[in-house]
Amino acid sequence: MLPGSQTGSTAAKDKDSPKATITRQALFTGDETPAAVRAPALTRSTTPTIRKRPSFYGSSSRIINGSGLSGNSTNSTSVLVQYLTQTRDYSNQTVKNDEVEFWNRVGSEIRKKVDGGNTVTRDFALAAVNHSGTYNVQQVCDLWDAVVPPVWTYVNDPADPDVSFWDYFAAASESITVGLKGDCDDFAILNAALVEAIGGNSRVIYAANPGGAHMYAEAQFDSGVDVTQIIRSRYALQPSAVVYTHPGNWLNLDWSAPHPGGTFYDDGGTIWIVYKDGHWEKLRKEGATWNIILSGP
């Protein structure tokens, strides 16, 4: 997948909370790597980094379209865009079953790559974090600053990936080992894994519009945490600056701005989300409310 950043929206769920009290309820009511391989060393600093916006932030030219990939990925990418942009008749059981099977596979492949417990991923996360305490917004910002472009180098997937799946998803530990390189799905998977490596809750989102599709990650915080104020202060933003979070206090970790909480990719009112426990949901926005229209497993 390729990047893009426009404007859109999302939803919520928490794996470790049986009733998902601060996520689902809040939203819908309104391989181990060999020991010799270690994470690249990071330069630690207690001073927040205020980044100059790299030139491709907000670029709509770096999105995947149905004909933009070769090999086995092309048709399936087209299907993904269709599933997220076209009205589907779920009263037709064949239509519904085919799409459920598709998203089951996508979710399974993504979650296999979110390897926050891998030694390489965990070591990298610990080296990146400069703020002590239990899981918090500053720590997630430390992680994001350590990987966001221009630190991250954008590189396309292989034209004909030697994988059984239709797209090439790099594990977080793989992206770290190769020096923080890959495309948008690799970046999203890395962010999700780093959040989980320090005890947080993350989710991965697919959004699409007729021009293409994009993947990004979000991190969740307790409902009482003022994420917006923390981001504004850390990155010296204007008092009126918008920090994009979603119900359930999910913070956008896309590369759409020089700080976490940038604008959302233009999703056209339909998104797909996979959570930490492998559960996924396809949602459609009606008014101010996101409604689940399909889910599994």
Give a yes or no: residue 91 inside a domain: yes
Which SS3 state, helix, strand or coil, does residue 292 take? strand
Residues 80, 84, 87, 89: what is their CA dihedral angle, to the nearest 10 degrees?
Answer: 60
User: Peptide bond before 149: cis, by omega within 30 degrees of 0?
Assistant: no
Note the pTM of the prediction, 2 decimals. Answer: 0.78
How many domains does the chain divide into? 1
Convert the pLDDT of each residue in 142-173 to its tens digit.
999 999 999 999 998 887 656 556 678 999 99
CA-based nearest residue to 147, from 274, 42, 292: 42
Tokens representing residue 243 in the block = 């920090």
Name every residue whose Cβ is closer than 8 Å to that of residue 219 and which is 6 or more positions away in sequence.
Answer: 140, 191, 195, 200, 201, 202, 250, 251, 253
Ranges of residues in the chain whose predicted pLDDT is under 70 = 1-77, 160-166
User: Do the Cβ atoms of 261 and 68 come closer than 8 Å?
Assistant: no
**Residue 50 token pair:** 């205020």
Domain that holds residue 195: 24-31+64-296
Q: For residue 174, is it within any domain? A: yes
Domain membership of residue 37 (yes or no) is: no
pLDDT score for 167: 78
In a domain, 126, yes or no: yes
Instruction: Assess if residue 40 is contained within a domain.
Output: no
CA atoms within 13 A on the CB side of 192: 29
In-domain check, residue 44: no
pLDDT of 115 reads 98
